[in-house]
Amino acid sequence: MDQLEALARSADLFESKLRIVPPTAMHDPSPCEGWDVAEVIRHSISGATMSAALIRGASREQAIDMLATTALDEDVVAQFSRAADDLAAAFAEPGALERMVAHPAMDMPVAQLLGFRIGDNVVHAWDLARGAGIDETLDDDLVALVWESVQPMRPFIGQVGQFGEGPSGEHEDAPLDVRLLDFMGRRP
């Protein structure tokens, strides 16, 4: 599967979970420390919006502002769908994958940003499902793709601050989705 197809599938995965989140679950805690279900949704929408803007030339400061000021609409499914479609269109623009962006974390190639967005959609689909108490099943092909893409982070993932304490070391023989989630600081 190519990266643009993986992006579409990962967005579909997140949206499929989002569609069945009960309205009463929005303020339930998620596996992301300090975030409720609504914040996982807001983060996913703002991340897609920010990434599309970066691909189209937004500055780091503009990106940081988008992350901080994106608010949820009444229809979060439609809002996520619009943001995901716009992001897919930005990645598909001629020459987009050869560009560099001033991401808030660091300057990076757009091709790397694409991998980040795929991983974000997959892992946050699980966060959303766990927080909302809905089906946590992930796409096996996407899990394998994200697992492979994050392996270069193995030596330092627990030190970057975005993935909790990193891998617990307790799930080395578990199914790949459990190993991925554990690697990313979740405790499934």
What does pTM read for this prediction? 0.94
Q: What is the mean pLDDT of residues 121-138?
A: 98
**Cα 107 to the center of its chain, rounded Å:** 18
Instruction: Check residues 93 and 170 and name the one with the higher pLDDT.
Output: 93
* Residue 47 in this model has a pLDDT that exceeds 60: yes
Q: What is the DSSP letter of 29?
A: B
> What average pLDDT does this structure show over 8-16?
98
Give the confidence band of 165 by pLDDT, cuts at 50, 70, 90: confident
The CATH number for 3-138, chosen from 2.60.120.20, 3.30.530.20, 3.40.50.720, 1.20.120.450, is 1.20.120.450
Residues in CB range of 125: below 8 A, 6 or more apart: 10, 13, 14, 16, 17, 138
Read off the amino acid at residue 176: L
| CB-based contact 144:128 (threshold 8 Å) | no
